[in-house]
């Protein structure tokens, strides 16, 4: 019996020698977790990468680290090598790209492809463009009192009904738009705020990675409506009255006639009148708001057609009506012929 027990002990000890343990695991307090990254490149200079890193040991404190190099991947690798802790890029939530780089179609496309294919940076990270110096932008945020490390991320998530004209755009969405025949995309353009994290300026419209123009926040509200979002919470001034949108709904009916695309669209808007000048009737407010929104859409659509940029995503509604092998010709052959009958119907709550 003693001999059998001895053999069992020896066998167990032999198996223990094969257990390597968790020798390659870094504890959370030994990691540096950047929440935001800024990327810029002017002319033919090197890439400049700036990290916004919360200091886990001190509440409310962040570090800003900047490095230059021939490529974004080489810079990130060198930053990881020189970091005193384990630099983990998997928690990056926000990526801001300098305007000079964003306007370079070839460099922009290469960067988006790298961000998408990188196994380190999340493809769900939010994307924005800025004309500011990114290092200074992060420094200004860092100096503001009462701001947390997550304030950058919180800026883009205001909740339903608070900023319906605002948009968030993720890395994977921009990557998808590089290859899309029937839908283009808009990326928020921000700058440093005096008393806020950012100021939302406008949005850059991109067609296959090339910036074709800018749209204002009020114009972007219409784009959002065509993406099945609600205008609830939007305030609008008519000069003689101010209104607030209570609810909205949009119906889109695509059709083909003589091989030309047609879209009939009805926007139903319910409003609450906040203030008005003396003598201004409800009927006048409703009619003026309808005319304002219809004109805003028609001006936007006319400009988009000239640029052959389908920012409203109308091509998506014809993917089952146009032969698959002809979808690649949507912008050149079908989109310029597209006619849209857009009507707004405003009522009071």
Residues 199 and 258 in one domain: no
**What's the pLDDT at 60?**
62
Alpha helices in 258-342, H assignment, sequence order? 282-307
CB under 8 Å to 147, separation ≥6 — which residues?
A: 60, 141, 197
The number of residues in the chain equals 349
CB neighbours of residue 113 within 10 Å: 13
- Which pTM does this prediction carry? 0.85
Query: What pLDDT, on the 0 to 100 scale, is given for residue 23?
Result: 44
Residue 342 lies in a domain: yes
Whether residue 101 lies inside any domain: the answer is: yes
Is residue 292 assigned to a domain? yes
| 174 and 292 inside one domain | no
Cα separation, 287 vs 134, in Å, equals 45
Beta carbons of 96 and 90 less than 8 angstroms apart? no
My answer on whether 209 and 133 are in the same domain is yes
pLDDT for the residue 86: 83
The rounded Cα 330 to chain-centroid distance in angstroms is 25
Looking at the fold, whether 256 and 336 belong to one and the same domain comes out as yes
pLDDT at 162: 72
| 54 plus 194 within the same structural domain | yes
Q: What end-to-end distance do the CA atoms of the chain give, in Å? A: 89
Range of the structural domain that residue 99 is part of: 30-215
Q: Are residues 241 and 194 in the same domain?
A: no
Last residue of a domain, one of 164, 180, 215: 215
Say whether both 136 and 255 belong to one domain: no
Domain with residue 182: its CATH number is: 3.30.420.40
Say if residue 234 is in the same domain as residue 184: no
- The closest of 156, 162, 216 to 186, measured between CA atoms, is 216
Q: How many CB atoms lie within 10 A of CB 197?
A: 18
Domain boundary among 160, 184, 215: 215
Among 194, 215, 236, the domain-final residue is 215
d(CA 125, CA 152): 12
CA distance 190 to 256: 39
Indicate if 58 and 113 belong to the same structural domain: yes
Residue 18 lies in a domain: no
Strands 198-207, 36-40: parallel, antiparallel or unpaired by DSSP? unpaired
Strand pairing of 241-257 and 260-276?
Answer: antiparallel
Write down the pLDDT at residue 26: 47
Same domain, 196 and 252: no
Q: Quick one: which of 160, 288, 165, 285 has its CA closest to 234?
A: 165
Looking at the fold, whether 329 and 196 belong to one and the same domain comes out as no
- Please state whether beta strands 185-192 and 126-130 pair in parallel, antiparallel, or not at all (unpaired): parallel
Q: How many domains, the chain?
A: 2
Across 261-287, b (16+ Cβ under 10 Å) vs e yields: bbbebebebbbebeebeeeeeeeebbe
Please list the pLDDT of the chain residue by residue as tens digits (349 residues): 555 555 656 655 565 555 554 444 445 556 788 999 999 997 778 999 999 998 876 666 788 999 999 999 999 999 999 888 788 999 999 999 999 999 999 999 999 999 999 989 999 999 999 999 999 999 888 887 667 767 887 888 766 557 888 889 999 999 999 999 999 999 999 999 888 889 999 999 999 999 999 999 999 999 999 998 899 989 999 999 999 999 999 999 999 999 999 999 999 999 999 999 999 999 999 999 999 999 999 999 999 999 999 999 999 999 999 998 999 999 999 999 999 999 999 999 7
């Amino acid at each position: 019996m003693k001999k059998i027990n001895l053999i069992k002990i020896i066998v167990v000890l032999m198996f223990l020698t094969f257990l390597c343990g968790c020798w390659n695991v870094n504890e959370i307090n030994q990691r540096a977790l950047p929440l935001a990254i800024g990327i810029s490149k002017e002319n033919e200079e090197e890439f400049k990468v700036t990290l916004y890193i919360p200091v886990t040991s001190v509440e409310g404190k962040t570090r800003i680290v900047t490095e230059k190099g021939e490529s974004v991947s080489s810079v990130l690798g060198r930053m990881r090598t020189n970091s005193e802790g384990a630099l983990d890029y998997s928690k990056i939530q926000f990526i801001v790209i300098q305007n000079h780089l964003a306007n370079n179609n070839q460099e922009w496309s290469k960067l988006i492809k790298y961000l998408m294919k990188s196994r380190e940076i999340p493809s769900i990270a939010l994307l924005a463009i800025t004309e500011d110096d990114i290092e200074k932008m992060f420094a200004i945020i860092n100096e503001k009192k009462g701001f947390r490390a997550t304030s950058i991320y919180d800026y883009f998530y205001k909740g339903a009904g608070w900023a319906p004209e605002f948009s968030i755009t993720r890395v994977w969405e921009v990557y998808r738009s590089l290859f899309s025949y029937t839908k283009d995309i808009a990326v928020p353009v921000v700058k440093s705020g005096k008393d806020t994290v950012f100021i939302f300026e406008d949005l850059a419209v991109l067609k296959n990675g090339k910036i074709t123009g800018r749209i204002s926040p009020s114009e972007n509200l219409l784009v959002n409506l065509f993406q099945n979002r609600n205008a609830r919470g939007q305030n609008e001034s008519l000069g003689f009255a101010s209104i607030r949108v209570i609810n909205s709904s949009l119906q889109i009916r695509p059709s083909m006639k003589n091989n030309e695309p047609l879209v009939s669209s009805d926007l139903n808007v319910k409003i609450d009148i906040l203030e008005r000048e003396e003598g201004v009737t409800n009927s006048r407010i409703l009619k003026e708001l309808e005319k304002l929104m219809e004109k805003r859409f028609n001006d936007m659509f006319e400009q988009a057609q000239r640029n052959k940029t389908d920012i409203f995503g109308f091509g998506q509604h014809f993917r089952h009506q146009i032969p698959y092998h002809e979808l690649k010709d949507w912008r050149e052959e079908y989109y310029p012929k597209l006619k849209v009958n857009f009507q707004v119907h405003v009522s009071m709550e």
